[in-house]
């Protein structure tokens, strides 16, 4: 068990290593910061695209129209089958009379005389329908194909283009982020490894003396682990601070200047997305710093 003063010595030595190899340390920190910044940026974009697709599931519905000669019992039977489907989140029936009443209130509100012309006739007599919403919008095609298996179903209206577009954008962004972050992580591993290796060579004589006077391998290696963790931590905190400021300003700008878009696409508030971003970013940065320094020092420092 190491004494408190030994721990203090190892931590101070880790910070000294950073100062002795300032150029490599700065390069390592900058690379990790760039990696974490891009990760946070793509994390925010992907999260908002996924949130937008999720919102579409509750706003984009499927409307089922029936044949004019479909009996009320048949329509009710199809409606019950729709409600019983596990993919269906909710379903609402609209009769022909309700459809006509809603149409009149929307288009004839200021022209009652025109509406009275249809007093004895319902132009929407064949417009009885069910509007349904799904738990997962990706089930849309399967549900539409199933609805067309009913002989009483005349037409099914649905919108699939927007959902496909969002899925495509989401996949492209995810793939691109994995490639870019992977490249930057590889560069970070290389730079941190070089930084630790240089520090180990610089302190080789000191480490040999510590070994002679009885220092354990853990005590000799700990300063280099501290160095890697500090580089990873600093490389994570800097981009997190930057992304917080940029994201907050971007959300404020969108809400202020694109009101029509923000009603459909409501950006995720920074208070909801940032905690998850912090946990993953710090875990990534500190984890890379620790793991790389751990394996590098075992390879470079034979004590």
Q: What is the pTM of this model?
A: 0.62
The whole domain housing 17 covers 4-56+163-300
CATH number, residue 104:
3.30.70.3040
Q: Are 107 and 192 within one domain?
A: no
* H or E element that contains 20: helix 4-20
Last residue of a domain, one of 117, 143, 158: 158
Mean pLDDT score, 65-87: 87
Residue 91's beta-bridge partner residues?
132
Spell out the residues 6+ positions from residue 42 whose beta carbon is closer than 8 angstroms to its own. Answer: 173, 174, 176, 177, 180, 181
Question: Does 117 score more than 90 pLDDT?
Answer: no
Q: Are 218 and 294 within one domain?
A: yes
SS3 302: coil
Last residue of a domain, one of 127, 158, 189: 158
Q: Are 126 and 188 within one domain?
A: no
Last residue of a domain, one of 128, 158, 188: 158
Q: Are 295 and 168 within one domain?
A: yes
Say which residue, 84 or 14, is predicted with more confidence.
Answer: 84
pLDDT digits (tens, 9 = 90+) for 30-52: 878 888 888 888 888 878 877 77
Mean pLDDT score, 206-225: 67
Give the Å distances, CA to CA, from 43 to 120, 145, 163, 174, 267.
Answer: 59, 35, 20, 9, 13
DSSP per position, 108-168: STT-HHHHHTTTT--TTTT--EEEEEESSGGGHHHHHHHHTTSTTEEEEE---HHHHHHHH
């Amino acid at each position: 068990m190491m004494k408190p003063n030994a721990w203090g010595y190892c931590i101070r030595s880790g910070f000294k290593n950073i100062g002795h190899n300032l150029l490599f340390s700065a390069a390592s920190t900058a690379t990790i910061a760039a990696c974490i910044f891009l990760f946070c940026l793509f994390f925010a974009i992907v999260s908002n695209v996924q949130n937008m697709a999720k919102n579409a599931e509750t706003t984009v519905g499927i409307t089922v129209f029936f044949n004019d000669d479909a009996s009320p019992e048949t329509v009710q039977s199809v409606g019950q089958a729709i409600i019983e489907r596990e993919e269906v989140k909710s379903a609402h029936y609209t009769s022909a009379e309700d459809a006509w009443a809603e149409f009149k209130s929307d288009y004839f509100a200021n022209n009652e005389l025109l509406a009275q012309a249809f007093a004895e006739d319902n132009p929407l007599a064949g417009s009885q329908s069910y509007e349904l919403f799904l738990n997962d919008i990706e089930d849309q095609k399967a549900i539409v194909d199933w609805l067309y298996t009913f002989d009483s179903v005349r037409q099914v209206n649905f919108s699939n283009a927007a959902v496909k577009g969002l899925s495509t954008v989401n996949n492209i962004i995810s793939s691109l982020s994995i490639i870019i972050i992977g490249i930057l992580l590889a560069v970070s591993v290389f730079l941190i490894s070089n930084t630790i290796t240089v520090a180990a060579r610089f302190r080789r004589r000191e480490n040999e003396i510590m070994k002679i006077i009885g220092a354990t391998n853990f005590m000799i290696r700990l300063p280099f682990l501290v160095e890697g963790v500090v580089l990873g931590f600093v490389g994570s905190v800097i981009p997190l601070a930057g992304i917080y400021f940029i994201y907050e300003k971007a959300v404020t700008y969108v809400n202020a200047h694109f009101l029509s878009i923000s009603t459909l696409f409501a950006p995720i508030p920074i208070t909801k997305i940032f905690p998850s971003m912090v946990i993953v970013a710090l875990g990534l940065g500190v984890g890379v710093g620790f793991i790389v320094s751990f394996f590098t020092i075992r390879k470079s420092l034979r004590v």
